[in-house]
């Protein structure tokens, strides 16, 4: 009887510890999209960690698809199915590129936000200055939009 009680206690403690570590690892991976700056820091951190899924989560592929369709095929922009399909294709293409070629081009981890340009209540551009590939610097703006799920990166329409 005493041995069973001890075994149950050990099982309970192991289960409790596993649950604690799962919660802790989830908390560490939680992303902050509450402000444009926080969303950009998440984008940067995912790039620095070379974490493809976390990096992709910082980008609004749906917004990019919607803007692309509005520009190239306005009638399709009204069809949610067309927007969803183009968004899924854009995400899959970037995932494949990151898996095959890696995180190349500008090292986002070195970028600093210069200022904040508020285009509207729900759209912001952050001009960045980054270390260039050959000891120089590169500067460019990055656009973020406030969406129902929080602030997300919206890359230029191709």
What are the structural domains, with CATH classification, of the chain? 34-153 (3.10.450)
Whether the pLDDT of residue 1 is over 60: the answer is no
The answer to whether residue 17 scores a pLDDT higher than 60 is: no
Nearest to 157 by CA among 59, 64, 77, 61: 64
Give the pLDDT confidence score for residue 3 in this predicted structure.
53
Distance CA 38, CA 31 (A): 9
C-beta of residue 130 within 8 angstroms of C-beta of residue 108: yes
Model confidence pLDDT, tens digit, residues 31-47: 899 999 999 999 999 99
Is 30 exposed, middle or buried, given 0-12, 13-18 or 19+ CB atoms closer than 10 A? exposed
Average pLDDT value over all residues in the chain: 84
H or E element in which residue 142 lies:
strand 137-147
Residue 142's closest CA among 124, 157, 121? 124
Backbone angles phi, psi at 126, to 5 degrees: -115, 110
- pTM for the structure as a whole: 0.77
87 pLDDT exceeds 70? yes
d(C-alpha 40, C-alpha 74), whole Å: 30
Interatomic CA distance for residues 39 and 31, integer angstroms: 8
Residue 2 pLDDT: 53
């Amino acid at each position: 009887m005493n041995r069973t009680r001890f075994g149950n206690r050990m099982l309970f403690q192991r289960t409790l510890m596993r649950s604690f570590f799962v919660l802790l690892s989830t908390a560490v991976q939680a992303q902050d999209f509450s402000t444009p700056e926080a969303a950009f820091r998440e984008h940067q951190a995912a790039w620095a960690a070379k974490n493809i899924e976390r990096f992709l989560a910082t980008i609004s592929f749906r917004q990019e698809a919607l803007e692309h369709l509005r520009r190239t095929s306005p009638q399709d922009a009204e069809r949610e199915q067309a927007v969803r399909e183009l968004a899924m294709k854009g995400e899959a293409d970037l995932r494949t590129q990151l898996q095959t070629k890696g995180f190349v081009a500008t090292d986002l981890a070195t970028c600093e936000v210069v200022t904040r340009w508020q285009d509207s209540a729900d759209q912001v551009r952050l001009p960045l200055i980054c270390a260039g590939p050959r000891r120089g610097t590169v500067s460019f703006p990055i656009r973020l939009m406030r969406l129902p799920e929080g602030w997300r990166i919206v890359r230029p329409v191709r």
